[in-house]
Amino acid sequence: MVGLAMAVRETQYPNWVLATCILASSLAFVDSSVTNVGLPAIGKSLQAGGADLSWVINAYLLPLSALLLLGGAAGDRYGRKRLLVWGTALFAIASIACAAAPTMALLLTGRALQGIGAAVLMPSSLAILGASFSGEARGRAIGIWASVGAMMAAAGPVLGGWLIDAVGWRAIFLINLPLAAGAIVLASIYVIDARDKDRPALDIPGGLLATAALGALTWGLTVGSGRTGWTPLAMAGVAAGVLLLLAFVGIEKRRGERAMMPLAMFGSSSFIGLTLLTLLLYGALGALVVLVPYVLIRASDYNGTQAGSALVPVAIVLALASPTMGRLAGRIGARAPLTIGPLVVAGGFLLVLRMGARTDYWTDVLPAMLAIALGMSGAVAPLTTAVLGAVDARHTGSASGFNSAIARTGGLIATALLGGVLGAEGPALIGGFHAAIIACAIACVAASAAAFFLIPARQEK
């Protein structure tokens, strides 16, 4: 395994490797934000109702969340470069299908294929970065990767809105094509395939159970957070997900080191702490992304563009600060920034409590967004660096896939718990909003505690 890691780190083109990973992962970052802008136009064009439009988002998120683990393990087994290229190519083909879809059913099929492609390429992209850099250079590279992702996510709605006005909603899917082409060409030229030929065959039983479990949880939470609420069917989906997760743990325990997600990884207090931190911090962030625009529109008469723009400072600050924090984490270790960052985010959430029925953006919203952005910038790149450093080199794909799945699960759980707030009006809306924001602040404090007590002061890889 030492030879495997060193083979990648001896690449003569580290900057091109970084550019490759950025282009590939930018597909997922852009697509996660740009599609939201196109929902009204898609609904009008394809005669879709509100329930159908929600699945334009969820048809992408469900396979992405459910297949990240399997995508990461497949990259470890069959080659991260190969999976990066395959996933990117699938994403591009699916994007063309979305742009040409004549019906809602075909559009949802294309969106699901995009989610599968993203689940394949994302963990391989991050694993290639982890294997290609070490120490402070790894922190810097991951910081740049995270900052560009934040910039792409922020630029997505702006670019998407312009394309919808100038060309039509189908064009928002075609902007993925140049990104995909660039990633495939650069990967073919500059990335060394880090396949572990000695790794056991892919853990198909574990992969199927993990996929089914996360898929059931995602589906149950999606239905439960929708208009129909927590119906028996939605609760059955969540219960099935929990049972399947328990079965997955049993399978992985029996397979030992041959497992897709070896349970020995959880013998590390650092990996446990990082998992808890990810679940809590990204759960709080997921709630913020849903609640702040909603309350601005419903309680303060903001229009959609104004409310959506309220979160842009978060992406801008992340883009500017993440490279510095990535380098800092590579130099001093991840524990300090991962302890302090969530505490700053918690303070930002408390500032959000200033929002009410008459909200002024500059005095009530912007200070809170800046504080949350600064705290998140102290956590995003160090968190990614720490996850890659907490496991053996041969498991970096699985670890990055698992951590990404946990981040999305945190957001899904948070969203599912907001039904009461989103269904309220007037003072009840503000009261429920404030209660949810306080819960988010508490979650961030708990995330900080997980980092402080479970992550070593210095973690070497």
Q: What DSSP string describes 56-100?
A: HHHHHHHHHHHHHHHHHHHHHHH-HHHHHHHHHHHHHHHHHHHHH
Number of H helices, E strands in the chain: 19, 0
How far is 390 from 387, CA to CA, in rounded Å?
Answer: 5
Beta carbons within 8 Å of 26's beta carbon, 6+ residues apart: 148, 149, 152, 179
Contact yes or no for 327/143 (Cβ under 8 A): yes
**pLDDT, tens only, 335-357:** 889 999 999 999 999 999 999 88
> What whole-number percentage of the chain has pLDDT above 90?
24
Contact yes or no for 373/314 (Cβ under 8 A): yes
Residue matched to tokens 């993440």: 322
How far is 75 from 69, CA to CA, in rounded Å?
Answer: 10
Which of 50-54, 244-248, 455-459 has the highest average model confidence (pLDDT)? 244-248
Task: Residue 130: count other Cβ atoms within 10 Å of its Cβ.
Answer: 29
Which of 129-143, 145-159, 274-288, 361-375 has the highest average model confidence (pLDDT)? 361-375
How far is CA 137 from each of CA 17, 30, 225, rounded to the nearest angstrom? 13, 26, 42
From 84-88, 243-247, 263-267, the region with the lowest mean pLDDT? 263-267
How far is 318 from 62, CA to CA, in rounded Å?
Answer: 26
- Tell me what pLDDT residue 347 has: 96
Judge whether residue 50 has pLDDT over 60: no
DSSP state of 264: G
DSSP state of 265: G
146: Cα separation from own chain's centroid: 11
> Residue type at 293?
P
- Tell me what pLDDT residue 461 has: 43
> What confidence tier does 135 reach under pLDDT thresholds 50, 70, 90?
low
- Tell me what pLDDT residue 207 has: 73
User: Which string of DSSP letters, residue by residue, matches 180-196?
Assistant: HHHHHHHHHHHPPP---
Averaged over 240-263, what is the pLDDT?
82
- Tell me what pLDDT residue 49 has: 59
φ/ψ region of 229 (left if φ > 0, alpha if ψ in -120 to 50, else beta) reads left
How far is 458 from 440, CA to CA, in rounded Å?
Answer: 28
Judge whether residue 316 has pLDDT over 90: no
Q: Which residue has the higher pLDDT, 215 or 22?
A: 22
> 347 burial class (0-12, 13-18, 19+ CB within 10 angstroms)?
middle
- Going by CATH, does the domain composed of 267-461 fall within 1.20.1250.20? yes
Contact yes or no for 261/69 (Cβ under 8 A): yes
Averaged over 356-372, what is the pLDDT?
91
- Going by CATH, does the domain composed of 1-197 fall within 1.20.1070.10? no
Residue matched to tokens 């200033």: 354
- Tell me what pLDDT residue 94 has: 96
**pLDDT, tens only, 385-429:** 787 776 666 666 667 667 777 887 777 677 666 656 766 778 888
Q: Which residue has the higher pLDDT, 72 or 81?
A: 81
The whole-chain average pLDDT of the chain stands at 80
